[in-house]
Structure 1
């Protein structure tokens, strides 16, 4: 057997693993209306919405009203000013004069926790009046005024963590914007699917809820307090399990954030996000690493085989089969998560995303990111 035979068999195995992953996504992405809603469960629990802001004066002006005007009977908004250098605090105080349910937590830098978002968030969580906490960012906007209602109704006696979807705003004629949204879509499908299996591994701080009890039971962020990022995914990776975690995938529960508009800014953001993955539990690192490595191999091994025209009809057939399964799985997911315009160019987006992820991974090994902003 020649070395090309080995490459072909290895490529066939890679395609098989990829197909299994995408069928996994297809099967487990939530569909239809939330069962809790269907049976009329609407507890209207009092909720503390927590927004941590660092140099976000303009974004607060634009997006904070969409939170303050939510259709929900009882909630407060905790605004955390994380040592901002702009007018963030002044904007918060101006809103506080108009809305009695706002509480401001003004955080100043100190030598121990300088530029650490987790320290600021901890102070905000301690200041929260209510047991049930809902998190978002200063540049986020709920897509409806039922955001708090949709997320909070997922809480129950057994479910103390709720994973939501945080999308990015669409920008016409921008390839970078499509790439950012595709990466966000793929990540959401993964963490929704793993949670549906009873094996949650992360959430996004743009749309995430959990209880104060869950937070303090884990001693907050203490186990990764020195890691600059990971206030959302590392915390969820540590405390979430199949019994205490649920998901919320209804359209009215989504949030929309402002995406980066330059490759440099996006790469800087992704460097912080990717740097936390090495601290995930071993089983999650293995599963996620297997998915990414087989993605990379899917795009590299066929090149070798096709250059030598080795079993090329089979190679083309395997490529086509894998793309078909991917389109079916991601097509269904993109419809559910309101990202249908990405479907026609999924192969192109995937190719570029794998390239940039590899570059970011190598860059982080050489020079780890230091600050959250």
Structure 2
């Protein structure tokens, strides 16, 4: 008998797990509350763990020409001095794309796999083994996946506790239709005091810019961009600020999700709904894709789905928990570092990139599912 999955959320997590399940023979339906499948945001870093999963799905082949394969990553201070440089190869490889490019690649892969995508379909919760939509529809399923973001309606309806905590850091994101500022295949993060600016090529025609500052710095969080204020902190980037000053931006506060458990009965909680985290390590999508792949692998040929969901969390959650913890440490470090200790700031920055034991712990997700002993082609006998 064909097993059936109902999925809430047509973003990266929902589309990815839908495609994986459909490729394994499930009948899958995705519920997206918006009128179309689209991504809100600017650019996205696709790291080694994401590349492994997206390559397995054939998505990278669909979008490769619309992205950039980065060769190195730098941290520079406001005076232009390089304080850290990493080569991006092997387990540290990184591609960058416009977020819409990635979501279109996932959407097309899902459609080709036979996934049914229902737009304008708002999910309000679960009832026994059925997903419930706002129009009164009940959609029974063998598996229900909550991939509906940090404010997950399904997570809240399960009554398992936890929730979203907003952090006092604000980020603005811009997608610039120009490679004028990014002629080289590198991502550069500029630091000045408690502020950071990332400038990265994102395909042949675009540059992705993000600007991060503590929420208490009101001038830094103004939109349209306060060009004079930002140029005072980063004088070498004035021409960039003048270029993006009137461009549309996506602004939001950092935050983190506490989810006491990732499943309840036949419901699996996936992506930001389970482990939303600050984007300081660029692993929001990576963790989502890894966990979706692990879930699909562990469901192959398994009959007791609630038991599998529990085993799935036990096997892979430690990677997400550690990454979330380190992403919060990194945010706190950049936001709270005392100005009186600015003279040792470069040494700490150097340590983040150069000390192997620190990097291995902080970037555990980069190494992919092998950390949890899972192969993408694994076919377990059951859990």
TM-score by length of 1: 0.25
Higher relative contact order (CA 8 A, sep 6+): 1
Higher strand share: 2
Higher helix share: 1
TM-score by length of 2: 0.25
